[in-house]
Amino acid sequence: MGRKWNNIKEKKASKDANTSRIFAKFGKEIYVAAKQGEPDPESNRALKVVLERAKTYSVPKAIIDRAIEKAKGGSEESYDELRYEGFGPNGSMVIVDALTNNVNRTASDVRAAFSKNGGNMGVTGSVAYMFDATAVIGLEGKTADEVLEILMEADVDARDILEEDEAVIVYAEPDQFHAVQEALKNAGITEFTVAELTMLAQNDVTLPEDAQAQFEKLIDALEDLEDVRQVYHNVDLGE
């Protein structure tokens, strides 16, 4: 798989450590998920996924509660879910997911981030076919064999179970996200280092040093945009 998911999460959190940006993005995402169905994670699977992910980023309970209460209050504020695809330096591939209340602004901002950092926007489908939607769940305190046994006993399938640094990472089909978590929770595991529904590149590529530096600037520019929710790519950054 090639990705160090705990390190990626820590890098993102560290970059936003002195700002409220990451929490504001989660507030928006939680609100949108709560508006799409019942504002109760037990009956709203989309909301439950967002809340599980928010926990791994230590999003304050006050922000979570405020977003859910806003949805319960019947706020008319609405957002569009958008996906952009594009290419970075040396033909690297990037997918950008966004939540926005101004489609023109977001499209312009994303296009500018690409063009100013050695990339260019692609058409729908130009990149996504090289990625697989994947559930990624990480935990500590168990070995890969122990996690495999837990999932087998619960009759839950996983694509792969790997030990990465001091964590065990489970890769599964998106529709197995909750089943994997429930099986692990029933085995006494209550804390997860990673809980993501992501787009995982089928093949990672390594860029030459100058292109990688430019690529990292591109990813930072995209992640810094207010409307961008997630950025996926196929470059091995050595994290």
Q: What is the CATH number of the domain that holds 44?
A: 1.10.10.200
Q: How many domains does the chain have?
A: 3
What pLDDT score does 83 carry? 97
CB of 96 within 8 A of CB of 83?
Answer: yes
Three-class DSSP labels, 35-83: HCCCCCCCCCHHHHHHHHHHHHCCCCHHHHHHHHHHHHCCCCCCCEEEE
What pLDDT score does 10 carry? 54
Whether 11 and 51 map to the same domain: the answer is: yes
- Residue 239 domain-assigned? no
- Residue 26 domain-assigned? yes
Q: In which domain, by residue range, is 46 found?
A: 5-72
**Strand 167-172 relative to strand 160-164, pairing:** antiparallel
CB of 1 within 8 A of CB of 162?
Answer: yes
Q: Exposed, middle or buried: residue 42 (CB in 10 Å: 0-12, 13-18, 19+)? A: exposed
Collapsing DSSP to helix, strand or coil, 227 comes out as coil
- Residue 87 domain-assigned? yes
Alpha-carbon Rg for the chain, nearest whole angstrom, is: 18
Helices and strands, counts by H and E, the chain: 8, 8
CB of 142 within 8 A of CB of 123?
Answer: no
pLDDT tens, residue by residue, 141-200: 999 999 999 999 999 999 999 998 788 999 999 999 999 999 999 999 989 999 999 999
Per-residue pLDDT of the chain (239 residues; tens, 9 = 90+): 445 565 555 555 555 554 578 888 999 999 999 998 888 888 999 999 999 999 988 899 999 999 999 998 878 889 999 999 999 999 999 999 999 999 999 999 999 999 999 999 999 999 999 999 999 999 999 999 999 999 999 999 999 999 987 889 999 999 999 999 999 999 999 899 999 999 999 999 999 999 999 999 999 999 999 999 999 999 988 65
What pLDDT score does 8 carry? 55
What pLDDT score does 176 carry? 95
- Residue 238 domain-assigned? no
Whether 23 and 115 map to the same domain: the answer is: no
What pLDDT score does 36 carry? 86
Whether 197 and 136 map to the same domain: the answer is: yes
Taking the C-alpha atoms of residue 234 and residue 199, their distance in angstroms, rounded to an integer, is 10
What pLDDT score does 3 carry? 56
- Residue 228 domain-assigned? yes
- Residue 121 domain-assigned? yes
